[in-house]
Amino acid sequence: MTRLAMRFAAVDLGASSGRVMVGDVSSQKLVLTEAHRFPNEPVKVRDTLHWDVLGLYRGVLDGLRAAGPVDGIGIDSWAVDYGLIDEAGRLLGNPVHYRDARTDGMTLPIGEDKLYALTGLQKLPFNTVYQLLAEPLAPLAHRMLLIPDLIAYWMTGEVGAELTNASTTQLLDVRTGMWATGLIDELGLAAGLLPPLREPGSVIGSFEGTPVYAVGSHDTASAVAGVPADGPNFAYISCGTWSLVGVELDEPVLTEESRRANFTNEGGVDGTIRYLRNVMGLWLLQECQREWGDSDLAGLLAAAADAEPFAGVIDVDQPVFLPPGDMPGRIADALFTAGRNVRSARGAIVRCILDSLALAHRRAVREAAALSGRRVDVVHIVGGGARNELLCQLTADACGKPVLAGPVEATALGNVLVQARAAGVLHGGLPALRAVLRETQQIRRYEPRGDQDRWQTLENRLWG
């Protein structure tokens, strides 16, 4: 007999912190609480930037102890990065950070058009396929495990690759949902390096007697499952360090126009396609805060609200903004080149970031709709960016569409919902799960204001 209420632990590993959240779920409620949060700080050793994956694992275990008894555990994280294990299951070195420079300038011995038609992924220099070809330890490895699968392996002893995260490697056939074995052979990678695939909702194994479930282990897959949409005609922006901007589809879009527009087709929960573009996101603001030593985000946003709007906009996806370092200086240099001198004005720099992000959101939403044929009536912003009222309003203004902001914890909620359905406490497809979110989570609506012509002029100025 199905229990009326159950508790699930969502392990959510982000690029700057990890946390363990606990979801109390019944058919009438979904309450999320934080059990434990811990930093995720990369470590540079000589010339290579690594993740401290053992520190992350310790944080996960501490969080699960703090959570207390639960009925299931699900793990999600950022995409593309991995650990290599040998035949005895031992880790071969700390995983390398996707912002490391080892793949700069790399090319693949296969045409970009052919690769896109097979994998559906946009060209990004840090995709797993590039990392593996730059990986000196690959010939010594028995298996490659993406970060959530590595943590799950340490917890359960079971080896596998969850589909939504596997779809970000550029080694998965987007049409069949299977590893692209021909491509793997053509690239000279060992056929056995990639583990068996598993679906969200399947049981991986157990940890101290508790089931460990495969969820949408790419955090954006869980975040999109956590979008409280009502019907199919929506765009989403999973807004944090990155802004993942797109629409949810039943089939991939593999046209040459889609490839040239740099859109990606990633796997989602229940066999959906996350058709999206990666936009640099709040990384620019986070790096400015780090450089300034200024943790007063509210004060910076207030200064940005008072700053002159549209005094300068930048293409946030330029490669110069990808690495860590002097972000305010790089933004000021870009604006100075465009005839604006804002080197010492923090409010102006933050306003530039937010105006530019809203403009990039507009462009991505409009192109996703045009290339996919999916009508967009409303834009959902989930994740940490849903707290940023100025960014949400600017995005509504730029897109000319209502913006529904929230839930902030969409990733953890999507993780918990997939577990709850697998355990039998919830039922139905994504529409049914999203109905639970609309009934239980706070969502704020922003109506568009102002003149679309001004946004179009800015868009034309940057991208033609």
Q: What is the CATH number of the domain that holds 351?
A: 3.30.420.40
**Does residue 339 carry a pLDDT above 80?**
no
Asked if residue 179 and residue 138 are part of one domain, the reply reads: yes
**Does residue 311 carry a pLDDT above 90?**
no
Neighbouring C-beta atoms of residue 356, cutoff 10 Å: 26
Among 197, 219, 241, identify where a domain stops: 219
Beta bridge partners of 234: 378
**Torsion of the alpha carbons at 376, 463, 317 and 260, rounded to the nearest 10:** 70
Asked if residue 191 and residue 242 are part of one domain, the reply reads: no
Asked if residue 256 and residue 149 are part of one domain, the reply reads: no
Residue 319 domain flag: yes
Q: Average model confidence (pLDDT) for the chain?
A: 94
**Number of domains comprising the chain:** 2
Binning pLDDT at 50, 70 and 90, where does residue 344 land?
A: low
Which tokens belong to 161? Answer: 């690759």
Catalytic residue among 12, 76, 100, 219: 219
**Does residue 215 carry a pLDDT above 70?**
yes
Asked if residue 161 and residue 241 are part of one domain, the reply reads: no
Binning pLDDT at 50, 70 and 90, where does residue 1 land?
A: very low
**Does residue 330 carry a pLDDT above 90?**
yes
**Does residue 335 carry a pLDDT above 90?**
no
Q: Considering only residues 92 and 15, tell me which one the structure prediction assigns the higher pLDDT.
A: 92
Q: What is the mean pLDDT of residues 400-418?
A: 97
Binning pLDDT at 50, 70 and 90, where does residue 106 land?
A: confident
Among 161, 196, 219, identify where a domain stops: 219
Please tell me the distance from the alpha carbon of residue 68 to that of residue 260, in angstroms, as a whole number: 49
Asked if residue 69 and residue 150 are part of one domain, the reply reads: yes
Asked if residue 311 and residue 203 are part of one domain, the reply reads: no
**Does residue 12 carry a pLDDT above 60?**
yes
Residue 449 domain flag: yes
Asked if residue 240 and residue 107 are part of one domain, the reply reads: no
Asked if residue 260 and residue 211 are part of one domain, the reply reads: no
Asked if residue 246 and residue 172 are part of one domain, the reply reads: no
Residue 421 domain flag: no
Q: Among 217, 223, 193, 221, which Cα is nearest to 204's?
A: 217
Q: Give yes or no for a contact between 222 and 274, defined as CB atoms under 8 angstroms apart.
A: no
Q: Give yes or no for a contact between 80 and 131, defined as CB atoms under 8 angstroms apart.
A: yes
pLDDT in tens, 144-181: 999 999 999 999 999 999 999 999 999 999 999 999 99
Backbone phi, psi, residue 14, to 5°: -105, 175
Q: Among 408, 123, 384, 357, which Cα is nearest to 245's?
A: 357
pLDDT in tens, 412-435: 999 999 999 999 999 999 999 999
What is the distance, to the nearest Å, from the Cα of residue 121 to the centroid of all Cα atoms in its chain? 14
Structural domain including 367 reads 227-406+427-464
pLDDT in tens, 38-56: 999 999 999 999 999 999 9
Please confirm, yes or no, whether 185 is among the known catalytic residues.
Answer: no
Among 219, 235, 267, identify where a domain stops: 219
The whole-number pLDDT of residue 450 equals: 80
Residue 415 domain flag: no
Residue 13 domain flag: yes
The whole-number pLDDT of residue 2 equals: 46
Asked if residue 374 and residue 240 are part of one domain, the reply reads: yes
Asked if residue 256 and residue 167 are part of one domain, the reply reads: no
Q: Considering only residues 115 and 464, tell me which one the structure prediction assigns the higher pLDDT.
A: 115
Q: Give yes or no for a contact between 63 and 35, defined as CB atoms under 8 angstroms apart.
A: yes
pLDDT in tens, 346-373: 999 999 999 999 999 999 999 999 999 9
Single pTM value for the model: 0.93
Binning pLDDT at 50, 70 and 90, where does residue 342 land?
A: low
Residue 416 domain flag: no
Please tell me the distance from the alpha carbon of residue 305 to that of residue 49, in angstroms, as a whole number: 36
Q: Which of 58-62, 109-113, 231-235 shows the lowest per-residue confidence on average (mean pLDDT)?
A: 109-113
Residue 422 domain flag: no
% the chain with pLDDT above 70: 97
Please tell me the distance from the alpha carbon of residue 376 to that of residue 109, in angstroms, as a whole number: 38
Binning pLDDT at 50, 70 and 90, where does residue 451 land?
A: confident
Binning pLDDT at 50, 70 and 90, where does residue 337 land?
A: low
The whole-number pLDDT of residue 3 equals: 60
Residue 419 domain flag: no
Asked if residue 441 and residue 324 are part of one domain, the reply reads: yes
Amino acid at 40: N
